[in-house]
Structure formats: C-alpha cells, structure tokens
A and B are shown apart, each in its own frame.
Chain A
C-alpha cells in the first residue's frame, strides 16, 4: 500500500498522505509501524540513517539489572522501577505485548519459552541478562552447564578469548571454560572488517594454498583445542547469508555446538535482525523511505498537520492523521544538546533536564547519569508531555530511545523499552485512525 497524494495547491508541492507516519527506523519505529499496520491502516515509515540495530549486538533485552544487580524476572522487576519510567507509565502488559509482536515477527530467535532472563557471555568476558537471543547465540548461555571453549582470532582484537574465559571463570559460571587465540584461515589483512570473515565462511572459500575450504580449515584449527568442550564460542562472524548452514556444519564437524558471542559494531547479528524486521514491514505493506531526514513540522497548535522531509535540495511534505516519533535518543540523534540545554530535534517536545550541564553526569563512568535518562516524557497513551505535563500534540506519540526516564544501558532494557513504547504508540495510532 502506498500513500495517496492530496490535490496540489498552487506554489507548494503535493503532500504525501498516509494514515500513520512513523519518523525513525530503529527498533522502536519498526515496532510502531508493524503494530499500526496490524490495525489495518496505511502506514509509512521515514528514516534518516541506518538504524542503530546494525550496531546493536543482536540480543533483545527486557529488563536485566537494577542498581547493578542482575534481575532474573523482568516482569516482576517492573514494579521496582521508579516513577516516570516508561514501563511504569505503560504497564508491564505493554512490555509483554511488545515481545509478543517481536516473537510473532522474527524467526531464529529463542527465549520466548520463559519469562526468565538468559545470561549471555559478552565479548568483554562477563555475562549479560537478556530476554531474546538469536539461535546462533543460544548454545552459549551461562546457565547451561556444558563445558565451553572460546575461540578468538589474532587479527580481531575485539575478542580476547583466553581473557574472556578467565573472567567467566572468576564470575563463577557453572561450567568449565577455556579460551584460545588462533589464526583465522584465509590470510585476511590485519584490519579486515568482520563481514570479510563472514564472507569467507559463507562462500567456503578455498584457503591454505587452495588445500581446503575456509570452514574445513577453521574446524581443523579448532579441533585440537576442544579438550572435552561440548560447545565452542566464536566472535559473531559465523557467516552472513548462510549463517545457519555455516553454524550447522561447524557444529557437526567439531562434534560440539558452535555459537556466537555478541560483539560491538558493526554487528552481524544486529544486521541480520534489521534485515528481518525491514522485510516484515515490507510484507505488512508499510511504505518505507530511508536516507532522508525530517527537518520541519507544521502544526495548528493542537495537532501536527504535516512534516517536511528533506530530499536532495527539495523539501517534500508528508501528511498523516497520526504521527509516531521514533528518532532515537542521544545515540540515534533524536535528542540533541548544546552547552545550555537539551532538546528533542524534530517536534521540539519538552525534554526535562538539569539546568547546569555539570549535573547531566556524575563522577564515575558508570554512575547514575542524568543524561542516560534524557528524552521526552509520555502519558499512558504514549503521547509526549510538555513542561506543564499537558499533551504536546493530540496526534503525536513517541517510542524508543527518544522517550526518557529509563537508563536503558544500566537496566539492560534498551530493546524492551523500544518494543513496549513502539507497540503502544503504533497500536493506539492505528486504532485512532480506524
């Protein structure tokens, strides 16, 4: 379904019209678009850059830590969050619905069989709590007691397998773990991107002087280090297009489950997830436009009437009945700041923040930073509130990182907040139209 156009009036370009317009194409925007499309209305999503999903490690957090302590049941822990947290505002049911939508959309993910968080080994060597994880990550869970081997590569300084193993041991994981650093087959140059590693495995490229293919060479290198391990963790580069096949072959030939340890950007599991979600939007008939930012908005004071997208040197108006703001937080660039203040970039919604910028952060890199909670505040319908707690615009809702009140990094709740707020915003926007 593509948006209809409104009759052109003199001197201004024709507005592209839809029922619901989502601004921002990260996890929150996609969730909102899918939830809205589910109500049977016409939905369009416009997004400036690639979403931060491609940087994200690919696991989907709900709520994993409070005050630095791991939480096993996110739903039970929601009550312990402070007022103003989006989970408190929207309720634990919104979180559950968000995850239901995710589970119904994406394949190749696990974790939906239980409410409990899983502990996934990180590339820094500890474990982190998360709610959904790719199948490629699943055999690595820390509550599983099978002995583990971690494999790192000389050319890939992001993952130091022996050190990660030593740290996991110190964390007290319930299994034996050791690590080894090997040469990756295929003579990649020292600074090759992870995608180059994945390509070699995907295509089973001949290596070692054409003697064997890359998968075989990798198996040969790893095999002598197994010493009883029943699962083998690699940095997340086990194939791209053919990742299921690569993992299955490695597992079968090693006689141990091959799995991926989630990594920093650029992240293959994150990219795989982004690709799936965009395909799902396509299937749901969402109009998708990426590459151009929304630069301006028109309102009548009460309602948003139009937004302007900047295409190369032309400004194109987009109109809809309902709007969803999902431009991300400080990282996704939905929230901006200068020396004096913090603001929401597109609609200029109110963003509460301390007046003195030295109060935006605290001493201690992982302290209780105000900046981590920067974002718009929403009501129970997901609508941004102004400084006097009134709704900013009747037909505007916000979702994801642009919503404040949660320190999603400390809580391990980033994707969960996007799912809960994205679901609420999209569903209610759709319902209001229909």
Chain B
C-alpha cells in the first residue's frame, strides 16, 4: 500500500462529491469518477428543499433531527447555495386537526423551531394562499441549489488534490484474491471535460478502497462486485412554474401524500412530487397525469397555480434503501435514513463500502460518517472539518456591492451573479470586458458562462447547471447559440455545433411536459427562431448542395456570372413587378 491511501469514490452526486471533499481535506489521495456530468443522477433532478425536518417530524424522527442540524450547518458553510425562504405547513379545513397537533409536537420533540400562524397571518406572509387555509406552522425550511452545491464540493476536493473525472463510467469492479483492488472505467466519447483518458478508451484504476456512492444505481455497482445491494428506486415528478407564486416553501399539513410541496427557486417555483417505485432508475415512464396531479392538488393551497404558466417538468429517482427484512410495500413507508454498507463485514468482501439512502439535506453528514469509516480502516486520524470550513464561493459576500459598481452591470444581473458565485464574483466577472448578458431570462453574463466552461469543457448541460443559463422562460430559445458561441474558437466548430445540439435536445426533453398555454406558444417561438430564422433543422451540412440550382442574385443574373436555377414560368398569371 502506498503511504497515502488512494480512495476512489464512484458517483458525482451530492453524496459522492461530499465524500470526495471530506476525504481530500483529511489528506487522502482521492479520485472521483462519474459516468455523466456532476449531478447527472438524482441530485440534478430533485426538489431543492433544504429540509427543516418538519416533513419527517411525525413519521421518522431520527431523520428529522439530522435534517434540522444539517440545515443550520449548510446555511453557514454553503451560504451561496441556500436561500433562507422559511417554510409553512398549511392546513385546509378538511385536513385533520389532530395531525396538525402531532406535527407541531413532533417538530418540538426534534428541536425544530416552529411558530403557529392563523390563516390570516399565513396569508399575510404568502398572499396567494387559499382563502380557506385555516392554520399554519412556520418552520426553517430553505431552498438549496444542488448544482452549485456539488460543483463547490468538487472544486474544493480538487483544491485539496483530488482528481475529479466526469464522463467516466465504472464498467467493472476488479476483485482479486477475494478483495476489491480497483475499477475499470470507460471514458465517454460525448462532449465534456476529460482530464485523463481519451474518449472511448478504458482505464484501470488501482485503488486501496472503493466508495460506492451511486445512489439509485448502487445495486449495479454491487452486481459488478458480486454483492447484493437492495436499493429500491422510487420516482417523483417536479413541475417548474415560470414565476414565484410563493416566496416561502409551502407544504400541506397532512400525512404523507403526493403533490404536497411548493419550493421557490430563483425566479421560479417548483411543485412536487410523487413517490412510486420503479425497477430501472434510468428507464421509467414519465406521465402526463403526474403533472396534472401537481397542478390540481397544489392549487388547493395556492389557487392561482391552476391558471399559471408551467415551463417544464422533470423526474428523479430516490435512492431508497431498506434492509431486506423490513419489506415495506409502499415506498413512502421506506425510511429516509441512510445506510453504510461495509461489504467486508456484510459480504466478506474487503476493499469496498457503499452508502445508500438518505437525502441531499444530509449529504454532509453522510459524507462525514463514511469518511470516518474509511479513515478508520487506514488508521488515518485527522478529523472532519466540513461542518466548519465554508465551501468555495461561500466565504465572503461583501464583494457584492463593489462588484456591481465596478462592472457597471445592471443591478439584477450583478445581484444574481453574485448570488450564484458568492465570493468568487469578483474574480469571475473581472475576466471579461465587455461582458454582455447571454441569457436574459436568468441574467447570466458571458463571464459566468466562460468560467463554467473552464470547469465543464464542452458539456453545455454542465455549464447550464453551473450558471442556470437557458433554464428560464424561453428555455434556451434566445440564448443556446450564444452560450455555444463561447466555446469557439477554443473548441473547433463541429464540436461546438454538437454541443449546441445536445443542449437544445436536453432542454426540449423537459419542456415537452409543459407544452400547453403560454409555454406551448413559447416553444413555437423557439422552434421558429431555430428552424425558420436559423434553419438548424434542415442545415445542409451533411448534404451535397447543388449551389447552381439556387438563385445567386439579380446582380449575378445580370452579369451572367453564375447560372441561376429555374426561370420564372412565363405562362402563369401576371407579369413580374419589382426588383429592377
């Protein structure tokens, strides 16, 4: 064994990036491999609620306690990823009084700060709540940006010497002499930043220990190593509205149910969700009734949602786990707690540990506990510092006012950029002059896009996740080509064109679930811009064009320099006018 143990973390979601940062900060030699871009899995497709624990205060008090503790930790160390919105559990007349009291008591039992509001007080806070909402409990829920969170963790892991490799899928777990000794990884040929390895190539990574943090995919990695991991993936839908109908997280105060939370995010609101077990975390039906359910149910809390504009919907799969002996039938009964599976102890297979279950809110705690476990195996005694050391970007917000002035940016742009970039605002924005806004809906400027490209390469979806560019009302209609343009000439034109196509297709996929009303009109406009104005759909780049068959202009026709195509049919009605 080398003097510094080499740990390979599989999975670039909140759990994997959190673990990579924690281990790297403790001085271990860390490699993280992720088959897509960062947040490619569940982390990029979740609701973005930084739980206060209130949701689990009746059914799962251990999780509730962990949530509230971590909630307060992340407000400190990940300031730039958290918006302190507060949350409400609102009760309608038909919701049980007893449950309201149970919820209140549960929160108090778990040390979750609460305040009871009358219906009128709740409406004062959130004017669009339904008239007949009669009571509410305020809790410290918040909104969290999972993209920024993962990127900051990965960035800091790298600063501490880790290698972070995206578009690198684990295709085999190498077992020798009854022990896990390494991984086989295939580098993808898709766009994206590749630090090592060439597209399509494979690489063997020798390692002292493998941490399997692949969430809903953990069973697949288990299969490759020959061990059983009983993950029970459960899907949920989220529907994005075009404005913030509420500024506070709104939960319905009733026992578990579908479609009971609204989370405000940046300029939007996200409605969620459902909970339904699926067999394959990558291939499951995305159905229109789920979207309808979100709107119909949640408009009981906020009636204006019925007529509001939806911009897209997306689905994610929860990496739920329960020990096989529990045997819950309904996925909503499965605990939200996390489990550390020591495969040496459990399956007689040393060299690998898996972490399953849990939720984003507790990612840091999960990372801490698995890092403790790994360090213990190698006799490393350094302690965890992730609860105290701010993530990059989070340290210092005073640069904000300064930056606004210096870069002469319109204030919403500067404000939004500095929210996204935190203490990196100054260094990022100063790199680019002039610095035009590329994505007007989300106020993302060229400097921010270039910064994201430095991190993500040609993977424009990764750029999008880092900056929110193309995630607003127009869904990339006005900005996709501008974002792609920033890749050129560092990257050659065909690569840029492919990257643009990939971004356009990704946007379209989610937009299809919001295609009615205003958003259908918006989609039609986008289609017009890209097909009519730009002709991206019938671009003859792969065809041989018979240039001579097309009009070369009146000038050429007069010169006879270039032959033009079909002559005007003299037999038809009316002579020609104009043009001469």
How many Å from the CB of A119 to the closest CB on chain B?
5
* Contact for B538 among A65, A142, A155, A173, CB less than 8 A: A65
Q: Is the CB of B437 within 8 A of A191?
A: yes
- A143–B550 Cα distance when bound, in Å, is 6
Q: Which residues of chain A from 82 to 125 have any CB-CB distance to chain B below 8 Å in the complex?
A: 93, 96-97, 100, 102-104, 106-107, 109-119, 122-125
* Contact for A97 among B523, B548, B552, B574, CB less than 8 A: B574
* Contact for A110 among B516, B548, B579, CB less than 8 A: B579
- Chain A interface size, as a band, is 35 or more
- A409–B517 Cα distance when bound, in Å, is 20
- A7–B569 Cα distance when bound, in Å, is 51
Q: Is the CB of B550 within 8 A of A72?
A: yes
Q: Is the CB of B569 within 8 A of A115?
A: yes
Q: Does A410 contact B (CB under 8 A)?
A: yes
Q: Is the CB of A366 within 8 A of B530?
A: yes
* Contact for A143 among B435, B528, B543, B564, CB less than 8 A: B564
Q: Is the CB of A114 within 8 A of B567?
A: yes
Q: Does A141 contact B (CB under 8 A)?
A: yes
Known contacts A97-B574, A372-B527; A114 and B535 CB within 8 A of each other: no
> B509 contacts which chain A residues (CB < 8 A)?
363
> B572 contacts which chain A residues (CB < 8 A)?
93, 96
Q: Is the CB of A126 within 8 A of B536?
A: yes
* Contact for A190 among B292, B437, B532, CB less than 8 A: B437
Known contacts A338-B516, A410-B538; A166 and B488 CB within 8 A of each other: yes
Nearest neighbor of B556 in chain A, beta-carbon distance: A144
Contact pattern, B 226-243, Cβ under 8 Å of A = 1, otherwise 0: 000000000000000000
Q: Does B410 contact A (CB under 8 A)?
A: yes
Known contacts A114-B565, A126-B539, A331-B524; A189 and B408 CB within 8 A of each other: yes
* Contact for A114 among B445, B481, B528, B568, CB less than 8 A: B568
Known contacts A57-B533, A138-B553; A158 and B481 CB within 8 A of each other: yes
How many Å from the CB of B435 to the closest CB on chain A?
6
Q: Does A157 contact B (CB under 8 A)?
A: yes
Contact pattern, B 485-524, Cβ under 8 Å of A = 1, otherwise 0: 1101100111011000000110111001001110011011
How many Å from the CB of B3 to the closest CB on chain A?
49
Choose among A163, A174, A191, A363 the residue with the greatest number of B CB atoms under 10 Å from its CB. Answer: A163
Q: Is the CB of A412 within 8 A of B535?
A: yes
Q: Does B406 contact A (CB under 8 A)?
A: no
Contact pattern, A 258-273, Cβ under 8 Å of B = 1, otherwise 0: 0000111100000000
Q: Is the CB of A143 within 8 A of B540?
A: no
Choose among B494, B529, B578, B580 the residue with the greatest number of A CB atoms under 10 Å from its CB. Answer: B578
How many Å from the CB of A24 to the closest CB on chain B?
15
Q: Is the CB of B578 within 8 A of A331?
A: no
Q: Is the CB of B550 within 8 A of A76?
A: no
Nearest neighbor of A329 in chain B, beta-carbon distance: B524
- A161–B445 Cα distance when bound, in Å, is 19
- A155–B436 Cα distance when bound, in Å, is 6
* Contact for B565 among A73, A97, A412, CB less than 8 A: A73
> A155 contacts which chain B residues (CB < 8 A)?
434, 436
* Number of chain B residues close to chain A: CB under 8 A: 84
Q: Is the CB of B535 within 8 A of A122?
A: yes
* Contact for A111 among B507, B567, B579, CB less than 8 A: B579
How many Å from the CB of A421 to the closest CB on chain B?
17
Known contacts A262-B533, A331-B524, A365-B508; A103 and B577 CB within 8 A of each other: yes
> A409 contacts which chain B residues (CB < 8 A)?
527-528, 531-532, 537
Q: Does A69 contact B (CB under 8 A)?
A: yes
Q: Is the CB of B545 within 8 A of A171?
A: yes
Q: Does B576 contact A (CB under 8 A)?
A: yes
Known contacts A61-B532, A157-B446, A166-B488; A127 and B551 CB within 8 A of each other: no
Known contacts A123-B534, A143-B552; A114 and B562 CB within 8 A of each other: no
Known contacts A104-B577, A412-B538; A158 and B548 CB within 8 A of each other: no
How many Å from the CB of A313 to the closest CB on chain B?
23
How many Å from the CB of A26 to the closest CB on chain B?
13
Nearest neighbor of A267 in chain B, beta-carbon distance: B533
> B532 contacts which chain A residues (CB < 8 A)?
56-57, 61, 408-409, 412, 414
- A113–B566 Cα distance when bound, in Å, is 10
> B521 contacts which chain A residues (CB < 8 A)?
330-331, 333, 336
> A336 contacts which chain B residues (CB < 8 A)?
517, 521
Q: Does A356 contact B (CB under 8 A)?
A: yes
Nearest neighbor of A165 in chain B, beta-carbon distance: B493
Choose among B521, B545, B548, B551 the residue with the greatest number of A CB atoms under 10 Å from its CB. Answer: B551
Could you list 12 A-B pairs, sorted by A, with CB under 8 Å? A65-B535, A73-B566, A110-B579, A138-B555, A143-B562, A155-B434, A171-B545, A191-B436, A331-B521, A361-B512, A365-B527, A414-B532
Known: A112-B577, A119-B550. 4 other contacts (CB 8 A): A116-B550, A166-B492, A330-B520, A409-B537
A residues touching B (Cβ–Cβ < 8 Å)?
56-57, 61, 64-65, 68-70, 72-73, 75-76, 93, 96-97, 100, 102-104, 106-107, 109-119, 122-129, 138-139, 141-145, 154-158, 160, 162-163, 166-167, 170-174, 189-191, 262-265, 329-331, 333, 336-339, 356-358, 360-361, 363-366, 369, 371-372, 408-410, 412, 414
Q: State the 10 A-B residue pairs at the shortest beta-carbon distance, nearest first.
A: A116-B565, A128-B535, A103-B578, A124-B534, A166-B493, A409-B531, A366-B537, A160-B485, A330-B524, A118-B551
